[in-house]
Amino acid sequence: MCQNTDSSAVQAEKQKQPVRSFEKIREILRDNNHDPARLVPILQKVQEEYRYLPEDAMSYVAAALGLPAARVYGVATFYAHFALQPKGKYIIRLCDGTACHVKASIPILEAMRSRLGLGEEQETTDDMLFTVETVSCLGACGLAPVMLVNEQTYGQMTPEGAVALIDKIMEQENNQ
């Protein structure tokens, strides 16, 4: 039918070798049957692998699922769980749900951000050690104000306590 397998367009395409083969993403896609309806679980797995969603990874997923890149990006920007920037080794998630908010979570946030020297809109330190972000509710309102450092929960936090915790982690890191 179409006698065009040797076209110059295809040749040019072949010559442009990809930098990465995205082996891990391919595996994730296979595990999910390349099903576009499973976009969210696929992106979750990809984020688990890369610790955030790089643009190339999203483009790859979009192309493999036959979805427009804008759709994938739209989904990725809709959910707070998805990160579009690389995150630090320690991800601090401060709860700013109603209970934590009234128990003064914002001063804790400000104390941590100033201790880490984070600029406006900046969430991750330049040395990629810490990321500080707020989340809506961790479901531990009894411990308010509460925060997570990676998977570890810390309840009844104070600005001083949070800064001390950061100092402790920094010390550990320096000793390693």
Partner 1 sequence: MRNTSETKTTLTVNGREVSFNEETNLLAVLRKADIDIPTFCYHSELSVYGACRLCIVDVEGRGIVTSCSTAPEPNMRVRTDTKELRQMRKINVELLLAGHQRECPTCDKSDTCRLLEIARRLGIDEIRFKENNRQQPLDRSGVSLVRDPNKCVLCGDCVRYCGEIQDVGAIDFIGRGAKTQVAPAFNKGLGEVECVNCGQCAAVCPTGAITPRSEIEDVWEALHDPDKTVVVQLAPAVRVSAGEAFGGAPGELATGRLVAALKRLGFDQVYDTSFTADLTVIEEANEFLTRYQAGEKLPQFTSCCPAWVKFMEQYHPEMLPNLSTCRSPQQMFGSLAKRMLPERLGVEKKNLVVVSLMPCTAKKFEAKREEFWSDEMADVDHVLTTQEVTRMIKEAGIRFTNLEPRAFDMPFGFKTGAGVIFGSSGGVTEAVLRYAYEEVTGSRREEFEFHQVRGNRGLLETEVELGENKIKLAVVFGLGNARQLVERVARGEADYDFVEVMACAGGCVSGGGQPVNGEEETRERRIHGLFNADETLQLHAPQENPYVQEGYNKVLREPGSEIAHRLLHTDYTNRRPTLGLEVPEEHHPRPKEKVKIEVCVGTGCFLRGSQELYSELAAYLKETGQEEEVELCGTYCHERCDRGPVMAMAGIRPMTCRKTWMSEHGPVVSVDEELLENCDVNAAKTAIQEKLKKLN
What are the DSSP calls for 109-174, one per residue?
HHHHHHHHT--TT--B-TTSSEEEEEES--S-GGG-S-EEETTEEE-S--HHHHHHHHHHHHHHHH
Beta bridge partners of 148: 93, 153
Q: Which range binds partner 1 by CB under 8 A, 67-75, 107-115, 129-137, 157-165? A: 67-75
CB of residue 25 to partner 1, shortest distance in Å: 10
Task: Find residue 133's DSSP bridge partners.
Answer: 93
Note whether 68 binds partner 1 by CB under 8 A: yes
Print burial letters for 32-48: b (CB count within 10 Å at least 16), e (below 16): beeebebbeebbbbbbe
Single out the residue of 35, 48, 127, 173 in contact with partner 1 (rule: CB under 8 A). Answer: 35
The residue from 27, 63, 107, 114 that contacts partner 1 (CB under 8 A) is: 63
Q: Which positions from 108 to 147 touch partner 1 by CB under 8 A, shown as an x/- string?
A: ----------------------------------------
Tell me: does residue 27 bind partner 1 (CB under 8 A).
no
Total residues binding partner 1 (CB under 8 A): 42
40, 69, 149, 170: which one binds partner 1 (CB under 8 A) = 69
What is the rounded CA–CA span in Å between residue 158 and residue 137?
18
Residues near partner 1 (CB under 8 A) = 1-5, 7, 9-10, 12-13, 16-19, 22, 26, 29-30, 33-35, 55-56, 58-60, 62-64, 66-74, 77-80
